[in-house]
Amino acid sequence: EDKVVQSPLSLVVHEGDTVTLNCSYEVTNFRSLLWYKQEKKAPTFLFMLTSSGIEKKSGRLSSILDKKELFSILNITATQTGDSAVYLCAVDNYGQNFVFGPGTRLSVLP
């Protein structure tokens, strides 16, 4: 059974801290790994990763994939209260199905 695991499930930090969110996966056929941010409503797309070792970056957020060890990390530097959200990791397993992890709830305190 395809599975995506995220850790930690919950994290509380203060503004300015750097955080690392983890995502590991076991899927039959891997095509890509995706990160989403979910605030109060719908998840919004952050990154898609397909190749090992190539960092994707957007502002203070960056992510990298290790296809040998089957994991990805999402880094957020200089966190702000606006980064408070649930961060979802998902894997596209070629079956037109995206398998999602349970998410990491990040709370950034002022």
What residue ranges bind another protein (CB under 8 A)?
Answer: 4, 31-32, 34, 36, 41-45, 48, 88, 90, 92, 96-103
Q: Among all chains, which residue has been given the structure tokens 């408070």?
A: 84
Q: How many CA atoms are closer than 13 Å to the CA of 33, on its beta-carbon side? A: 31
CB of 15 to another protein, least distance (A): 26
CB of 91 to another protein, least distance (A): 10
CB of 94 to another protein, least distance (A): 10
Q: Which is nearer to another protein, 15 or 55 (CB)?
A: 55
Q: How many CA atoms are closer than 13 Å to the CA of 68, on its beta-carbon side? A: 2
Q: Which is nearer to another protein, 4 or 76 (CB)?
A: 4
Q: Are 49 and 72 in contact (CB under 8 A)?
A: yes
Q: Are 80 and 106 in contact (CB under 8 A)?
A: no
